[in-house]
Amino acid sequence: MLWCGNINLNAGETYAIVSAQGQNAQGTNYPLQVEFAGKVPGYDSLTEIIIRVPDQWAGAGDLWVTISLRGVASNRAFVSMR
């Protein structure tokens, strides 16, 4: 689960327009499955994004994760898979 600012879905849009990608230390990029994206109740500027990380990544070490919406990529978030 990631929490992001400044992500707004327009009327009629679903989380299907949100994509995610992970990058390992070797620079290999992997698509990640987005399972949900929506506003956090009580926090209008905060969006919760749930991504599924493949089981084979368990204990894989460190990853950089990027979220994209309508072709615009976020800054990268550092995630440690221990």
Rounded distance between C-alpha atoms, residue 36 and residue 10, angstroms: 15
**Which top CATH class is 2-81?**
mainly beta
Rounded distance between C-alpha atoms, residue 54 and residue 11, angstroms: 31
Q: Whole-prediction pTM value?
A: 0.82
Model pLDDT, residue 59: 67
pLDDT in tens, 34-48: 999 999 999 988 999
